[in-house]
Amino acid sequence: MTNILSLVELGKEGWERVLSESAAMKARFRAGIHDSFCQGRTLGMYFEKPSLRTRVSLESAMNSLGGSAICLEADSPGRFWARESVKDQARVMSRLVGAVAMRTFSHAVIEEFAREGSVPVINVLSDYSHPTQVIADFLTFREYRGDLRGRKLVYLGDGNNVARSLVAASALSGVRLVWSGPAGYRLEPSYIEMVREKLGGVDFAEEPDPRKAVAGADVVYTDVWASMGQEAEAGRREDAFKPYQVNAGLLAAAPPEAVVMHCLPAHRGAEITDEAMDGGQSAVYDQAENRMHVYRGIFSLLFR
């Protein structure tokens, strides 16, 4: 494994390796076993958007393995790349750090950085996808359900970065993914087709009625209605997405053992209610914890 740009590019073998290494590194962490194979290594991080989980998980993972991390932050889109070209930064950073994690507005920037640099590049959220989030989500899903083949994941809401990665992960795991949301916010049919072609099939369906969608669900997953950078559209989106809120009423239409997931941060009272977040079916904090274990797994594959 070199880069993690998208789950489709990671492919079946990379997917299985990263999941099993993350589970192994989590077990070592839980057993109090200290590894230090990142000693003398530095991770460079670009954050063009805010972060709690991702940034803290990356640093915490690196620290726990004896390495260190340096974070570059910008508060407006494109600020990093106005000062100096992506190409030059990729070449310079490749001389200075052992790997680079990037959260950007433009996915193309991450791809260019990976092409021009010579160290591994990890996409830690772009407008296109959020692969490391979804690796943690499926590690969580496995912990709850074991073998995932034939399981059903229902995603309610925006056909966004997280949703795209969930489609790819479902194809890689033999999971049926049902999307439920308003017509204007569907996942692009061309994306579904690309996943089908590249990964040899995907069990994907759309169900506009959220109560029908969650019938028989193993996982009921949602994300914010307006992603970072879409704040100006929040009002319009709220009206469109209201019927898709994950609440006690909707969960009553799902099996009682269905697991509630959200990548966080959540807007409590909007896409998900307090009772769904805090109830016994919620796995949201397990997902958050697994973000760190996944980065420890990734660093083990990159640096050990």
Residues that bind ligand NVA (CB under 6 A): 125, 160-162, 223-224, 227-228, 263
Report phi then psi at 189, rounded to 5.
-55, -30
Token representation of residue 264: 């966080």
Using CB under 6 A as the binding rule, whether residue 290 contacts ligand CP is answered as no
Between 63 and 85, CB nearer to ligand CP = 63
Q: How far is CA 133 from CA 239, 294, 303, in A?
A: 27, 9, 21
Q: How far is CA 20 from CA 23, 119, 169, 248, 259, in A?
A: 5, 23, 14, 34, 21
Using CB under 6 A, pick the residue from 8, 101, 125, 213 that binds ligand CP: 125
Whether residue 130 lies in the annotated active site: yes
Binding partner at 161 among ligand CP, ligand NVA, none, C-beta below 5 to 8 Å by kind: ligand NVA
Between 90 and 298, CB nearer to ligand NVA = 298
The residue with its CB nearest to ligand NVA is 227
Whether residue 237 lies in the annotated active site: no
Whether residue 133 lies in the annotated active site: yes
**In this structure, are residues 264 and 290 in contact, taking their beta carbons and an 8 Å threshold?**
no
Strand 152-156 and strand 176-180: pairing? parallel
Using CB under 6 A as the binding rule, whether residue 263 contacts ligand CP is answered as yes
Between 54 and 160, CB nearer to ligand CP = 54
Residue of 223, 245, 287, 293 marked catalytic? 223
Stretch touching ligand CP by CB under 6 A, among 67-75, 193-201, 240-248, 258-266:
258-266
What residues contact residue 131 under an 8 Å CB cut-off, 6+ apart? 4, 5, 6, 7, 10, 123, 165, 168
Residue of 41, 53, 55, 103 marked catalytic? 103
Whether residue 263 lies in the annotated active site: yes
**In this structure, are residues 157 and 181 in contact, taking their beta carbons and an 8 Å threshold?**
yes
Stretch touching ligand CP by CB under 6 A, among 141-149, 180-188, 234-242, 257-265:
257-265
The residue with its CB nearest to ligand CP is 54
Q: How far is CA 184 from CA 106, 113, 244, 294, in A?
A: 22, 32, 14, 33
Binding mask 34-53 for ligand CP (x = CB under 6 A): -----------------xxx
Whether residue 142 lies in the annotated active site: no
- What's the closest the beta carbon of residue 253 comes to ligand CP, in angstroms? 26
Using CB under 6 A, pick the residue from 3, 6, 54, 104 that binds ligand CP: 54
Binding partner at 52 among ligand NVA, ligand CP, none, C-beta below 5 to 8 Å by kind: ligand CP
The residue with tokens 């949201």 is 284
Between 111 and 271, CB nearer to ligand NVA = 271
Token representation of residue 171: 């194809």
Between 104 and 170, CB nearer to ligand NVA = 104
- Distance CA(134)–CA(129), nearest Å, equals 9
Give start and end residues of each alpha helix (H) in the chain.
7-30, 53-64, 79-83, 86-96, 107-116, 131-145, 161-173, 189-199, 210-213, 234-241, 248-251, 274-278, 284-303
Q: List interacting residues with ligand CP (CB under 6 A).
A: 51-54, 125, 133, 263-265
Residues identified as active-site:
103, 130, 133, 223, 263, 291
